[in-house]
Structure 1
């Protein structure tokens, strides 16, 4: 046992919850004590049960706001100051901050590892292809201060690390630690194939390119399913004319669906990593992905690619994979093999190595 205590911020809204609980489980196995501090909306009962089932991990429902859901800097600064007090009160040795906007807004008593999973400025550019709305510039300023103030800055892909450095004029490139997900157990069985395409994610989010996928669904002779919320916490929503929307699908049900090996499709215009694609790959689904830098970095050689502005190109790629069972099986096997690189254990090994660079004296004495 190292005796190290990590205070890790999380939220119950999206992929950060998966990342933080998977990582916390592996850190606990590595001898770390982990306190998960929830910012933003409270976790639901299933999420509470998930956290309660991880030995060595304590869930702290702080009631503090989530930075990207706030209207201004003052409330985020107060949340950062509360995080600093919490770190002192719980005896944390390291703050693992999954909301980098907090990292420069308080005087923290211990080293801070800031992990950027996304941000308003980079999302805005991808979604709208225009400068950030002045109403949100405060968040961009807080992100830059946080990224500069943190002891270590981490991005989940080299592509997003480069985007962060350019967007926030950072003197150094963030370190790259790929995200991971546990292997999808149901994907290890037979090669049954569902006669459908499937996309997974926040359907309301314009960077997920749902409108283009709906057009694609109208071009192909194949059922097209979408798993994920249609409405955002801020009220944005999407409706489909051709896609069959499944809404938010519980994890076990999604695993069962992936075990049938639909063709997994993402036309995202921007993706810091893409946990949903990883889950589909882990299950052995053939991948048809947008030709963006992140997906090339992670899946080149294990997927088919199409331009995220080219609905006909996506339709042709999906039709090609669907019409060739041997190709579909080959792509599914390649995706599953590639997915084996991206596990929570691999992520945790890299993160623990970073932790040791922060306080080597205490690590050696433990």
Structure 2
């Protein structure tokens, strides 16, 4: 299974591997990218990823490296958390999981699809999708994005991401609004949250790298390890994620398990998962976000109701359910290969 350690893909891959192991499925993680795996001693190739600047020599080299890893462990299935490498000759079934893509990010954040500068990326993604034996997205919204941007015609299965049970969810919540994300990442809408925080009676905290950016009205916590972030989620009364782009939103799932009421960007993927269990706000509208947060601060019963609804929904998205769906997919692909061999 390929992965990277840049964002939420690492959490997804490492938890999925651990859960599959309990079902007797041996998964080897192969980490690509500039950041080493968060578990020391793992297989890692320092390289550019397919969405980074001028990556294609590295994509070619990392593809050969991945094929070497697959041969070395005698892989029965190759599970790629990326696109381009699915076009290679693997001699075993290939599953490609679409966690995000540049063109849908560009559309959501910049208001238009990526232009000519991303033509080679688009071709590589489309070719990889055509080469995969199975394509998985975490939401129907991401599946629609693949069809829209890459002319995807083959079947694409939706398997929602899952995470392990939250270790801490206090009954008595701190009067606090929490958010998590990279402050410099314009997709996350944390600039909107910073503006919306002005005049709120509760403090607003943001966990995540600032990248040299400063904030006026929110308190920056810096990067927190996952254990520390989950503990904070287990205490905060409200979790805000006013994002412009989020194909799934693993951080929202973690926060819902932590027991906070959710205030989310009103985008298709989050509506798909949390409609009826969160307050939604148009991305980029700081006045509307301020009003939504103030409304939950002032309304204890509504805040508690939404928090309970989100937690119940999140508990159905456990990593065991996700792992079971992937195991069934792997077994079906292997059985098909035996029949056609």
Report the TM range for the smaller structure's normalisation: over 0.9
Which of these residues, 10, 17, 24, is aligned with residue 3 of structure 2?
10
Equivalent position SS for 1:305 = strand
Q: Is 1:103 aligned to residue 86 of structure 2?
A: yes
Which of these residues, 246, 251, 256, is aligned with residue 281 of structure 1?
256
In structure 1, what is the Cα distance between the partners aligned to 2:338 and 2:264?
A: 42
State the number of aligned residues: 339
Are residues 240 and 95 of structure 1, via their aligned partners in 2, closer, same or farther at CA, if it must alter by over 3 Å?
same
In structure 2, what is the Cα distance between the partners aligned to 1:362 and 1:128?
A: 42
In structure 2, what is the Cα distance between the partners aligned to 1:69 and 1:309?
A: 26
Q: Is 1:35 aligned to residue 35 of structure 2?
A: no
Q: Is 1:92 aligned to residue 67 of structure 2?
A: no
Which of these residues, 304, 307, 314, is aligned with residue 332 of structure 1?
307
In structure 2, what is the Cα distance between the partners aligned to 1:92 and 1:230?
A: 39
Cα displacement (A) at 1:72? 3.7
Equivalent position SS for 2:239 = strand
CA contact (8 A) 1:165 1:172 kept: no
Which of these residues, 151, 169, 183, is aligned with residue 151 of structure 2?
169
In structure 1, what is the Cα distance between the partners aligned to 2:186 and 2:257?
A: 26
CA RMSD between the two structures = 1.9
Equivalent position SS for 2:9 = helix
Match of 2:186 in 1: 206
Are residues 134 and 37 of structure 1, via their aligned partners in 2, closer, same or farther at CA, if it must alter by over 3 Å?
same
In structure 2, what is the Cα distance between the partners aligned to 1:110 and 1:18?
A: 25
Equivalent position SS for 1:317 = helix
In structure 2, what is the Cα distance between the partners aligned to 1:146 and 1:361?
A: 20
Match of 1:145 in 2: 127
Q: Is 1:262 aligned to residue 251 of structure 2?
A: no
In structure 2, what is the Cα distance between the partners aligned to 1:346 and 1:30?
A: 12
What do residues 277-335 of structure 1 show as CA deviations (whole Å, max 9, x unaligned)? 11110011100111111111111111111111322211111111111222211111111
Match of 2:62 in 1: 79
Are residues 361 and 126 of structure 1, via their aligned partners in 2, closer, same or farther at CA, if it must alter by over 3 Å?
closer
Q: Is 1:48 aligned to residue 30 of structure 2?
A: no
Match of 2:110 in 1: 128
Equivalent position SS for 2:28 = strand
Match of 2:167 in 1: 185
Equivalent position SS for 2:99 = coil
Cα displacement (A) at 1:347? 0.7
In structure 2, what is the Cα distance between the partners aligned to 1:284 and 1:337?
A: 9
Which of these residues, 4, 12, 26, is aligned with residue 19 of structure 1?
12
CA contact (8 A) 2:45 2:62 kept: no
In structure 2, what is the Cα distance between the partners aligned to 1:131 and 1:273?
A: 20
In structure 1, what is the Cα distance between the partners aligned to 2:5 and 2:185?
A: 17
Match of 1:215 in 2: 195
CA contact (8 A) 1:73 1:139 kept: no
Equivalent position SS for 2:248 = coil
In structure 2, what is the Cα distance between the partners aligned to 1:210 and 1:97?
A: 30
Cα displacement (A) at 1:252? 2.1
Match of 2:49 in 1: 66
- Gap regions ≥5 residues in structure 1: 1-7, 53-58, 232-236
What do residues 231-263 of structure 1 show as CA deviations (whole Å, max 9, x unaligned)? 2xxxxx532111111111112221221121331
Match of 1:321 in 2: 296
Equivalent position SS for 2:64 = helix
- Gap regions ≥5 residues in structure 2: none
